[in-house]
Amino acid sequence: MTELILVVEDEVRIARLLQIELECEGYRVSIAGSGHQGLEMYQEQQPDLLLLDVMLPGFSGIELLRRIRAGDPDTPVLLLTAKSSVEDKVSGLDLGANDYITKPFQIEELLARVRAALRLASGRRREEAVNLLMAEDLELNETTREVKRAGRSIELTPREFDLLVYLLKNKRQVLNREQIMAAVWGYDYYGDTNIVDVYIRYVRKKITLDHQPELIHTVRGVGYVLKDAP
C-alpha cells in the first residue's frame, strides 16, 4: 500500500502545495491545521511519516512531537522550521525528530528527505521482521530484546529471554531438559537439570496473561514444547 503522509501545517497555501507535490509523487496525504487536530489524525490514521510545522495553533509542533514520541519511537517525523529557529531545530532533534527542513524550502529537497526517511524506516522494519519470533499473539524481537503478548510488554531476565528464544526457534519440537540445558546454560554447566523446570515455570507464568492459552506445554517423561494454542 502507498505510504500515508500526515502534513501538520496551519498555512493553507503551504499545506496545499505539499499535498499536491506529495500526491504527484504517489503518496497518500492527510492535512491537519493545528496541534490538536494533528494529534487526533495521527492516532486515528497511524501515518507512515509526519511533516510537522513547528509553529502551530493549539499547541506547538514540538509539543506534538513530544506526545508522539512518548509512545512511538519509530514513525519518521520531519520538522518544518523557520530559518532562524535554531532552538526549535535542537529541541526537535533532541525529542526524536528524524530531520528538519528550513522554510522557505525547495520542494525537490523536501521530497528527497521524505524518500530518505521512509527508506530508513522501511529498512529498520525489515531488519526487525527478520529477527522477530512469534507464536500466536506472542512476539519476541531478538534485536530490541522486546517481548510482547497481545501488544503488552513482558519483562524477562536475560536467562528467561534466552530460554524463550530457544523454545520459539524450536517451536512444535519436543525438547528434553538436557537439550534445553545445553542450549541455554551451556555445555559446561554442571548444575541440576531441575533448574530448567524452575525457569520454564517462570517464563510460562510471565507469558500467560489474562488467562490466555498456554503456549509452553509439558510432555510427561520427555520435556517441553512450545506451540500455538489448538
Q: Specify the pLDDT at position 210.
A: 75
Q: Specify the pLDDT at position 151.
A: 85
134, HSE (Cβ side, Cα atoms, 13 Å): 8
Q: How many other β-carbons are positioned within 10 Å of the β-carbon of residue 5?
A: 24
28-32 and 216-219 beta bridge pairing = unpaired
**Grid cell locating 216:** 509452553
pLDDT bin (cut points 50, 70, 90) of residue 91 is confident
**Range list for CATH 1.10.10.10 in the chain:** 132-226
pLDDT tens readout for residues 129-175? 567 899 989 999 988 889 999 888 999 999 999 999 999 999 999 99
Q: Specify the pLDDT at position 35.
A: 95
Query: What does the alpha-carbon distance between residue 195 and residue 25 come to, in Å, rounded to a whole number?
Result: 58
pLDDT tens readout for residues 197-223? 999 999 999 999 777 889 999 999 899
Q: Which residues pair with 81 in a beta bridge?
A: 102
Q: How many other β-carbons are positioned within 10 Å of the β-carbon of residue 211?
A: 6
Q: Which residues contact 198 (CB under 8 A, 6 or more apart)?
A: none
Where do the H-state alpha helices sit in the chain? 12-24, 35-45, 61-69, 86-94, 107-130, 158-169, 177-180, 194-207
Q: Specify the pLDDT at position 49.
A: 96
Query: What does the alpha-carbon distance between residue 44 and residue 125 come to, in Å, rounded to a whole number?
Result: 21
Architecture of 132-226 per CATH?
Orthogonal Bundle (1.10)
CATH superfamily of 4-129: Response regulator (3.40.50.2300)
**Range list for CATH 3.40.50.2300 in the chain:** 4-129
Query: What does the alpha-carbon distance between residue 119 and residue 3 come to, in Å, rounded to a whole number?
Result: 11
Side chain identity at 4, as an amino acid letter?
A: L
Q: Which residues pair with 134 in a beta bridge?
A: 139
Side chain identity at 93, as an amino acid letter?
A: L
Query: What does the alpha-carbon distance between residue 18 and residue 9 come to, in Å, rounded to a whole number?
Result: 10
**Grid cell locating 167:** 523454545
Q: Specify the pLDDT at position 120.
A: 86
pTM assigned to the model: 0.59
pLDDT tens readout for residues 39-83? 999 999 999 999 999 999 989 999 999 999 988 888 999 999 876
CA dihedral (103, 106, 111, 114) positive or negative: negative
